[in-house]
Amino acid sequence: MKKSGKVAEKGRYANRIPGKCLFLLLSLLLFGCGTSNDGDTSETGLEELTKIEVTEYEGKDLSSLTDFRENSIKGPQYIDIDSYKLTIDGLVEQPVSLSYDEVLDNQKYTKVVTLHRVECWSVDILWEGVLLADLFEGVDVQASADTVIFYSEDGYSTALPLQTIMDRQLMIAYKMNGVVLPPERGFPFQLVAEDKLGYKWIKWITRIELSDDADYEGYWEQRGFDNKADVKP
């Protein structure tokens, strides 16, 4: 991962996921894949963004903003950025509530990472964002914390081990393919959970909790999905 608009190595994964796709697809059908907001469609806006998004990097094609399928639990969330706060709390000495601009005051990083969905499709996207490790420096994480729980505007949640986040230098993204995330893609922030399946890539993040609950189960994990969510080669 590199700073200041330069891209580190591309995600190392194939374009399909072997294994448990059928089970996961049946689970999605059983519990629902989410709905879009009543009477609202932003396909036109997304199509406009495709005119300015980055489409390749160093000769390698990138996926488009429109290459995603809508499968959030309540449809796209439209967050008022003027009142938005990202809360970081839990097992920390100095909990904070940061504005959008305060989050972006941190060093930016860019990286091409593949997002793999459990429905057996994937996208290669150029992400730009802020390292979680940098955000955690400002809150003084307590020694007992071993888990990071992420909460979304729509009530969705998921968690990852703190050590995983630090070792893999995971970030929350505010741009994809060179454009600010549209609401459909998680504005203001989406977790770039490299090496993890798509249900760990939480969008519309409003709160990050440092915890010692290593067994915490989020929305899909409570419904039978693997809590590790590792992408299999």
For residue 152, what are the domain limits? Answer: 2-34+56-63+82-223
The pLDDT of residue 112 is 95
Please tell me whether residue 161 adopts helix, strand or coil conformation. strand
Where do we find the tokens 């793999």? 116
The structure's pTM equals: 0.82
Structure tokens at 32: 């629902």
The pLDDT of residue 96 is 98
Q: For residue 60, count other CB atoms closer than 10 A to its CB.
A: 11
84-139 tens-digit pLDDT: 999 999 999 999 999 999 999 999 999 999 999 887 889 999 999 999 999 999 99
Contact 174, 99 (CB under 8 A): no
Instruction: Give ∠ CA 165-62-131 in degrees, rounded to 5.
Output: 20
* pLDDT, average across residues 42-71: 84
The pLDDT of residue 71 is 85
Residue 82 has pLDDT above 90, yes or no: yes
Rounded Cα gap, residues 193 and 116, in angstroms: 10
pLDDT higher at 157 or 16: 157
145-192 tens-digit pLDDT: 999 999 999 999 999 999 999 999 999 999 999 999 999 999 999 999
Structure tokens at 29: 């059908």
List the alpha helices (DSSP H) in 112-232: 132-137, 162-167
CATH code: domain of residue 182: 3.90.420.10
Residue 10 has pLDDT above 90, yes or no: no
Rounded Cα gap, residues 114 and 196, in angstroms: 10
* Domain contains 68: no
Domain count, the chain: 1
Please tell me whether residue 141 adopts helix, strand or coil conformation. strand
pLDDT higher at 190 or 6: 190
Q: Provide CB contacts within 8 A for 80, sequence distance 6+.
A: none
The pLDDT of residue 124 is 96
43: number of CA atoms within 13 Å, CB side? 7
Out of 37-51, 102-116, 160-174, 219-233, pick the least confident: 37-51
* Domain contains 119: yes
